[in-house]
Structure 1
Amino acid sequence: MGEAISSYVMAYLNRINYTGTIDLSQETLARLQEQHIKSVPYENLDIWCGVPLSLEITDLYNKIVINRRGGYCFELNALFGWLLRQLGFKVTDLFARFWRDETVLPPKRRHHVLLVDISGKRFLCDVGVGGVVPLRPIQVIEQVAQQQNDEAYQLKRDENYGWMLNEQKDDSWRLIYSFTEEPQLLIDYYAASYWCESAPHSPFKESAIAAIRTEDGRHTLKGIEFRTFTSEGVSTYIPQTEDEFNHALKTYFGISLSSLPASIKFDATKPF
């Protein structure tokens, strides 16, 4: 790159443990996304505790980079999009409908994704999902299986819902989410984010949740139950005291008690 990288961008790169060269290649984009997903947790702790969210880039930077917290799609993809633009990538913000695990169909548009153009090739980028989704960008081409380690993904087209991201499960393809190509501004996500924060039936208000990918699997939190997924199986840990909970939160997700809302209280008899 021709211009020097700012200290703000360098701090962000350090936050996601990114090392190596920076250029506008597909390979660099893939490493940035993978490092982000493995370094910054998906979590809803502010929503669970009733702390209002801000989607302003300065606030997101302070929360995620400075205070080493995580967030959910409207936070994580907004800030990751900012990083990519600072590095010189051509980024378009898009809206998506999350289909996987939804019971009321078709689902509302409540997911933020990114479209990145590299020399005419377009890639779907997403660092804002707690479940298993592509670790690296998916090229936006129709009905081509794209393998990522033990996972495979494919994009299909629907005349009503646009691009449909599918994952391979056993011998079939299952829909994760869909998105259209209408460019969005950050203010376009405010209403959907407010619904996620405030609506009585919002899935983000059901319990405390967190997730992060690891080199050989992932860690998750739901309520006070910590789970670790590896190729060898699943292990579960349920802390019995507030100190044990805080230690596990730091160990698995890098979140320290000092960075959490003061309203968080440990109670082993409740979801959180």
Structure 2
Amino acid sequence: MKLVEYLKRINYVAPLRVDLATLNGLIEAHVRAVPFENLDIYAGRPVEWSLEAAYDEIVTRKQGGWCFEMNTLFEWVLSEIGFEVMRLSGGVRREKMGDVALGNHLCLMVSLDRDYLVDVGFGGSQISAIALEEAETLHRPLRMALLDAGDGYWRMHEGGWRSAMSYDFRAEPADNALLQQQHDVQVEDPNSIFRKTMTAKIRRGRSYHTLRGQMLETNHPGSKEAPRIIESVDEMRTVLRDLFGLEEPDLERLWPMLTARRRQMFPRSDA
């Protein structure tokens, strides 16, 4: 594994220093170059949680990844540069699900002049480091809100205050055994959202694109396009390749799963 190859992958050419400007530059370069995606999980291909596997997936094969791949790789990158970085156990939707959610998300904390939440694996929604303090921050076209959830937990809301999508974490070393357990559940459980819905997200220019099954949504600063329905295998292949930079070799096999999921989620649809 070579740091220089990762930097080429994310098109990062600025000097490397252990400071906030470099950290923010790396975060932004990563989320603009590497799509969040679950194609391997959705297709039922083997998924291993390791640094070597994440490097191969993202750098060598130039695909994307999800939180366990993205933030594992980014932790290594930051450590190689000289940042003080710590792995955190997150719990997506812990506000609704309770502690059973803990460990279903991997994020990072970087210590500089103060502690910062760093997360390139939550759909690319965070585009710069977030200080550990109660505040809403702008990540155009999105807002992120961090609040004290009590009992030592922080809660990150994607979309601003009171947004339904959130995850909780403590600013302490992750329980790696719990992360491994939750990783395997999300990869293998047929009821896992990663098994049920094919997803890809990426930032292009000032826009933020989200693919959920056959539905493509695009957010711009201050506006949102009407959802676009991907109607065919060829159209899906083009969207994955041209918008997200992804190749899916099993798309013909997966297409009936995608259309069945759309009928399940939108029973009045004509599809």
Q: TM-score normalised by the shorter chain: which range applies? A: 0.7 to 0.9
* Deviation (angstroms), 1:187: 5.1
CA contact (8 A) 1:196 1:203 kept: yes
Question: Greater helix share, 1 or 2?
Answer: 2
CA contact (8 A) 1:99 1:107 kept: no
Q: Are residue 205 (structure 1) and residue 207 (structure 2) matched? A: no
CA contact (8 A) 1:208 1:271 kept: no
1:121 corresponds to: 114
Uncovered stretches (5+) of structure 2, i.e. residues with no partner:
263-271
Give the 3-state SS of the residue equivalent to 1:196 in structure 2. helix
2:267 corresponds to: none
What percentage of aligned pairs have identical amino acids? 28
Distance 1:48 1:212 in 2: 18
* Deviation (angstroms), 1:253: 0.6
Aligned residue among 69, 72, 80 for 2:66: 72
Q: Are residue 20 (structure 1) and residue 14 (structure 2) matched? A: yes
* Cα deviation digits, residues 115-154 of structure 1 (max 9, x gap): 0011x41110001112x7331110113x244344565444
Give the 3-state SS of the residue equivalent to 2:200 in structure 1. strand
Uncovered stretches (5+) of structure 1, i.e. residues with no partner:
1-6
Distance 2:229 2:105 in 1: 30
| TM-score (norm. length: structure 1) | 0.84
Aligned residue among 61, 84, 87 for 1:90: 84
RMSD between superposed Cα atoms in Å: 2.6
Q: How many residues align?
A: 258
Distance 1:59 1:168 in 2: 31
1:41 corresponds to: 35
CA contact (8 A) 1:161 1:178 kept: no
Once the two structures are superposed, the pairs formed by residues 245-260 of structure 1 within 5 Å of their partners are 245-257=236-248, 260=249
Distance 1:146 1:103 in 2: 23
Distance 1:228 1:153 in 2: 18
Distance 1:168 1:263 in 2: 34
Give the 3-state SS of the residue equivalent to 2:242 in structure 1. helix
2:171 corresponds to: 181
Q: Give the 3 Å change call, closer, same or farther, for CA 114–51 of structure 1 in structure 2.
A: same
Distance 1:51 1:114 in 2: 27
* Deviation (angstroms), 1:214: 2.3
Letter in 2 for 1:180: R
